[in-house]
Chain A
Amino acid sequence: MRGKPLTPEKVIEKLQEALGEAILSHGMKEYTVGIAKKRSYREIWMEIDRKAFRKAVEEIFRLDYPHLHFIMGEDSGGDMIKMIYGFALYHGLPWEQVSIVLKFNLPKSELVLPTITDLMPGAETNEREIREMLGIEFEGLKNKRHLFLPDDWPEGKYPWRRDEYGVEDMVKHTHKSVKEIRKGRGE
């Protein structure tokens, strides 16, 4: 059965107990909503060491069976990919939901992550998408077929990468700005 919902502060405390030094930084974002009556809710944003990722997820699952909002990776062109995992704890309880965003850097020399599909089979979709879009391997992911990209998609091309593995050369015709088009027409 589900335990009593914890406040965001308590959730951070629990994660600190479990992860210790591995939490590099953490913060809470507060948003005020409502017109007739102002109320607010908070989100936890946390930067962690990539080695502690699996442990952090396990701790989140111990607190409450979460809902996975999204998994996203950001390649800003450097030698790191920033991974972003969004979970929601205590969903279904009005004003009690705590969203946790976990962020960590993954070096491009070692694009491997442990899967979370053993804890949440539904995360397969997300992991398969990240795998084909960014080229990150998930250890323990059973189904490695393409999800959105066609089966004959060229190997070593990842649409969300902003380096030599990106797709700039494949899509150069589709993203001209209005200025470029006008220039091309000689206007």
Chain B
Amino acid sequence: MAKTQYYVPVGPIHPALKEPIRVEAEVEGERIVRVDVKRGFAHRGIEYMGMKRNAIQTLYLSERICGICSISHPYAFVIGSEKALGIEAPPRAQYIRPIIAELERIHSHILWLGVVAHEMGFDSLLFWTWKGREKVLDLLELLTGNRINYSVFMIGGVRRDIKESQIKAIKDAIDFYRIFTEEMKNVFLSDPVYKARTRGVAQLSREMALKLNVCGPVARAAGLRMDVRQDNPYDAYADIEVRAIVPQDIVGEARGDAYDITLVRLYEIEQSLDIIEFCIENMPEGRIMAIPNYVVLLSKIKKTKGEAIGMHEAPRGEVVHYFKYDGTRDGPAVWKVVAPSYNNINSWAPLLLGAEVADIPIVVAYIDPCMCCNDRVAVVRDRDGRIMDYSLIHRKAVEKTMRLKRELGVRA
């Protein structure tokens, strides 16, 4: 009998993947009959590091968990820490934080729209959406000093105020994105090819979404009204009364496929614009930090015994940080990070079963996976299987740089 099943490995390093993960599929013809997902290729042991540093260092380390959600992890971190320490950020800071977080959501959602267009082969659409995304990155740079890794949050407040001149820039950006989102809606939602490529692909039912414990836009596209900003409000979100955006409210029914998730993300950009507008119109005056002195803050943390959960609705879903301060050190004794992709990757294996090979990129991209969020240790061995330590790897890296410089004729 002829062989009918073939093994198709995708990743960990693959031109279609921007970050390392491995999908192993067994196919019969075009149909996937067995699938396995392997993760951990970008695991860096960040939680372990955090449990060895002080809280302020860990806060900025948490920013480096992910480059795209570089405000989401600090947000969950500060909310959790404030709950454990029993301090409250000043009102003005509570209004500044959502502005930054929502600007990030806009850029992350536009990034996803571009990526999914690219996975389908619409590269012109990728360039057009990402060109539009530049404006929000420039704005974030204006507000915080950086395009990513803003370093603007602090336990008990924010480190930078928003000035009058910056508010004008924010308003301009809102006007720009109102129009740009409308254009994106036209392009994505009414394009027959886009619809044909996404309708019914990566379809997740409401029950499946619950059982697989997914969160964020993936859960919302399946019709679950799940949004931390609504369920467990914090900061200015409590005043705004954010409501989860689900397809049944927009088009009458939720199918939970890649088309619905596009819909949810596009409407969430508009929601973010509304939230930013509310925040700049109602921003109270006053201080921006509860405890401006870092030494005082750290000594307070050192004296605190307590635990708490900090949650934030990141662009990709719910970020949960669990903390425990044990009263002996000025950093978390226990720190657990659960990023949205951790849960959302659960959906790959069930969704890929029975799908076609050509659907793999869409199923993989539709949750907007973020491996560096999801994974957090790599052990490097030499040819004889001995573990190579840090200093050796560092020396080898320096040697390689030197060699390249020599070969390319670059002078120091």
A interface, CB within 8 angstroms of B? 29, 31, 33-37, 39, 41, 43, 65, 67-70, 72, 74, 76, 84, 86, 88, 91-95, 97, 99, 101, 120-125, 145-150, 152-153, 159-160, 167, 170-171, 173-175
Q: In the complex the two chains form, what is the Cα distance from A155 to B91 in whole Å? A: 51
Say whether B345 faces chain A, with CB atoms less than 8 Å apart. Answer: yes
- Closest residue to A43 on the B side, CB-wise? B309
Q: How far is the CB of A91 from chain B (nearest CB, A)?
A: 5
Q: How many residues of B are in contact with the other chain, CB < 8 A?
A: 62
Q: Which residues from chain B contact A95 at a C-beta distance below 8 Å?
A: 233
Given contacts A35-B94, A173-B391, 12 further A-B contacts (CB under 8 A): A29-B308, A33-B233, A33-B235, A39-B238, A41-B233, A69-B311, A70-B322, A125-B213, A148-B39, A148-B375, A150-B377, A159-B377
Asked if B343 and A159 make an inter-chain contact with CB atoms under 8 angstroms apart, the answer reads: no
Q: Which residues from chain A contact B381 at a C-beta distance below 8 Å?
A: 152
Q: In the complex the two chains form, what is the Cα distance from A74 to B90 in whole Å? A: 33
Contact A92 B225, CB 8 Å, known A123-B213, A148-B375, A171-B45: yes
Q: Which residues from chain A contact B322 at a C-beta distance below 8 Å?
A: 69-70, 72, 84, 86
Q: Which residues from chain A contact B375 at a C-beta distance below 8 Å?
A: 148
| B residues 195-213 touching A (CB-CB < 8 Å) | 210-213
Q: In the complex the two chains form, what is the Cα distance from A123 to B338 in whole Å? A: 12
Asked if A97 and B213 make an inter-chain contact with CB atoms under 8 angstroms apart, the answer reads: no
| One of B49, B284, B324, B389 near A74 (C-beta < 8 A) | B324
Asked if B224 and A99 make an inter-chain contact with CB atoms under 8 angstroms apart, the answer reads: no
Q: Which residues from chain A contact B303 at a C-beta distance below 8 Å?
A: none
Q: In the complex the two chains form, what is the Cα distance from A29 to B40 in whole Å? A: 35
Q: How far is the CB of B382 from chain A (nearest CB, A)?
A: 13
Q: In the complex the two chains form, what is the Cα distance from A154 to B165 in whole Å? A: 57
Q: How far is the CB of B331 from chain A (nearest CB, A)?
A: 12
| B residues 222-239 touching A (CB-CB < 8 Å) | 224-226, 230-236, 238-239
| One of B212, B226, B320, B376 near A70 (C-beta < 8 A) | B320
Q: How far is the CB of B330 from chain A (nearest CB, A)?
A: 12
Q: In the complex the two chains form, what is the Cα distance from A120 to B208 in whole Å? A: 10
Contact A86 B309, CB 8 Å, known A35-B239, A67-B213: yes
Asked if A36 and B239 make an inter-chain contact with CB atoms under 8 angstroms apart, the answer reads: yes
**A-B contacts, CB under 8 A, total:** 134
Q: In the complex the two chains form, what is the Cα distance from A121 to B207 in whole Å? A: 11
Say whether B271 faces chain A, with CB atoms less than 8 Å apart. Answer: no
Q: In the complex the two chains form, what is the Cα distance from A171 to B47 in whole Å? A: 13
Q: In the complex the two chains form, what is the Cα distance from A93 to B391 in whole Å? A: 52
Q: Which residues from chain A contact B376 at a C-beta distance below 8 Å?
A: 148
| One of A36, A93, A120, A159 near B211 (C-beta < 8 A) | A120
Q: Which residues from chain B contact A145 at a C-beta distance below 8 Å?
A: 38
Contact A94 B243, CB 8 Å, known A69-B338, A72-B334, A148-B43: yes
Asked if B334 and A65 make an inter-chain contact with CB atoms under 8 angstroms apart, the answer reads: no
Asked if A146 and B40 make an inter-chain contact with CB atoms under 8 angstroms apart, the answer reads: yes
Closest 4 CB pairs of A and B: A122-B213, A34-B238, A92-B225, A173-B390
Asked if A68 and B213 make an inter-chain contact with CB atoms under 8 angstroms apart, the answer reads: yes
Q: In the complex the two chains form, what is the Cα distance from A93 to B322 in whole Å? A: 23
Contact A34 B213, CB 8 Å, known A125-B346, A159-B377, A173-B390: no
Q: Which residues from chain B contact A175 at a C-beta distance below 8 Å?
A: 49, 52
Say whether B122 faces chain A, with CB atoms less than 8 Å apart. Answer: no
Q: Which residues from chain B contact A170 at a C-beta distance below 8 Å?
A: 379, 387
- Closest residue to A159 on the B side, CB-wise? B48
Asked if A35 and B338 make an inter-chain contact with CB atoms under 8 angstroms apart, the answer reads: no
| One of B39, B235, B238 near A147 (C-beta < 8 A) | B39
Q: In the complex the two chains form, what is the Cα distance from A160 to B45 in whole Å? A: 10
Asked if A70 and B213 make an inter-chain contact with CB atoms under 8 angstroms apart, the answer reads: no
Say whether B146 faces chain A, with CB atoms less than 8 Å apart. Answer: no
- Closest residue to B380 on the A side, CB-wise? A150
Q: In the complex the two chains form, what is the Cα distance from A122 to B215 in whole Å? A: 11
Q: In the complex the two chains form, what is the Cα distance from A148 to B378 in whole Å? A: 9
Q: In the complex the two chains form, what is the Cα distance from A76 to B327 in whole Å? A: 13
- Listed residue (B38, B284, B338) with the most chain A CB atoms within 10 angstroms of its CB: B338
Asked if B343 and A122 make an inter-chain contact with CB atoms under 8 angstroms apart, the answer reads: yes
- Closest residue to A130 on the B side, CB-wise? B336
- Closest residue to A35 on the B side, CB-wise? B91
Asked if A149 and B226 make an inter-chain contact with CB atoms under 8 angstroms apart, the answer reads: no
Say whether B60 faces chain A, with CB atoms less than 8 Å apart. Answer: no
